[in-house]
């Protein structure tokens, strides 16, 4: 089984290593979100959450419209606020660990099924190309028998991009929770022999429906995929 550490925490650690490895000093600007996504091989949602986490820790400062910068000494959130936010994050992670698989996959359906339908309508042609490319990267990783952790990151990237491209602002507010739900459910299923290959076939159906601009088909494919992963998780648990 993979690490229980949330994906955004691992991305935050990568950003910290980037800052140290490139000799960035307080006040220096970090690469933009798009460039960080490419450098770290993660979704924009993961980068945003990682930067928020680093700002909470006082390591970076995010300035609206300008980007992220290495924090000056004493800059950023106050120590009390950082401590409060840290406690909230720990509480959320503890609560998520307590949630049963049935609840977890039920909420994935609530969030991801409509997201697929919205993305089929709202995604731009460029975004559809990005989704196709992301799917192909996942497919090659499965064919190349990459370890479950690598598959998990690529799989989650695809799901989070579909949610992002749904262009629903309320859904965007749930991205942090969705990211953690994906991490937990994939840790349970992607290590099952044969499951990654089946997952690729199910993802292919979702991508084909999105490319066809067919929201009903996209929702149905997303629902089948989530329920298939749920059944796999139940069988492994049993």
* Three-state SS letters, 129-188: HHHHHHHHHHHHHHHCCCCHHHHHHHHHHHHHHHHHHCCCHHHHCCHHHHHHHHHHHHHH
Asked whether the predicted pLDDT for residue 76 surpasses 90, the reply is no
User: Which three-class secondary structure state does DSSP give residue 70?
Assistant: strand
pLDDT of 2: 45
Domains annotated on the chain, with CATH: 7-91 (1.10.10.10), 99-237 (1.20.120.530)
pLDDT of 150: 86
Asked whether the predicted pLDDT for residue 51 surpasses 60, the reply is yes
- Continuous segment of H or E residues that includes residue 63: strand 60-63
| Residue showing tokens 């991490």 | 183
Helix spans in the chain (H): 7-21, 33-40, 44-56, 79-98, 101-122, 125-143, 148-165, 169-172, 175-189, 195-211, 215-237
pLDDT tens digits for range 92-117: 555 556 567 888 899 999 999 999 99
> Which band of pLDDT confidence, cut at 50, 70 and 90, is reported for residue 5?
low
From residue 193, alpha-carbon distances to 138, 190, 197, 236 in Å are: 16, 8, 9, 10
pTM to 2 decimals? 0.64
Backbone phi and psi for residue 63, each to the nearest 5 degrees, phi listed first: -110, 120
| Residue showing tokens 């089984």 | 1
Strand partners, 69: 29, 61
pLDDT tens digits for range 138-176: 999 999 999 888 898 899 999 999 999 999 988 887 877
Structure-block tokens of residue 17 = 């290593």
233: burial class by Cβ within 10 Å (0-12, 13-18, 19+)?
buried
Q: What length is written for the chain?
A: 238
54-84 core/surface letters (b: 16 or more CB in 10 A; e: else): bbbbbbbbbeeeeebbbbeeeebbeeeeeee
């Amino acid at each position: 089984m993979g690490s229980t550490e949330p994906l955004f925490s691992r991305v935050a650690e990568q950003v910290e290593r980037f800052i140290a490895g490139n000799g960035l000093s307080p006040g220096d600007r970090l690469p933009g979100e798009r460039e960080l996504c490419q450098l770290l091989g993660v979704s924009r949602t993961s980068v945003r959450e990682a930067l928020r986490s680093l700002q909470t820790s006082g390591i970076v400062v995010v300035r609206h419209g300008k980007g992220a910068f290495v924090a000056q000494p004493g800059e950023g959130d106050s120590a009390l606020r950082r401590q409060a936010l840290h406690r909230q994050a720990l509480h959320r992670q503890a609560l998520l660990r307590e949630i049963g698989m049935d609840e977890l996959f039920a909420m994935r359906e609530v969030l991801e099924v409509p997201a697929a339908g919205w993305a089929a309508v709202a995604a731009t042609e460029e975004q559809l190309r990005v989704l196709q490319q992301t799917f192909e990267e996942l497919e090659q990783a499965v064919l190349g028998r990459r370890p479950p952790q690598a598959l998990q990151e690529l799989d989650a990237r695809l799901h989070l991009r579909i949610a992002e491209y749904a262009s629903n602002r309320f859904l965007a507010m749930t991205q942090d929770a969705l990211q953690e739900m994906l991490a937990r459910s994939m840790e349970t299923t992607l290590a099952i022999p044969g499951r990654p290959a089946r997952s690729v076939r199910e993802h292919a159906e979702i991508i084909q429906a999105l490319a066809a601009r067919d929201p009903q088909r996209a929702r149905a494919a997303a629902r089948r995929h989530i329920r298939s992963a749920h059944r796999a998780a139940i069988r492994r648990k049993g």
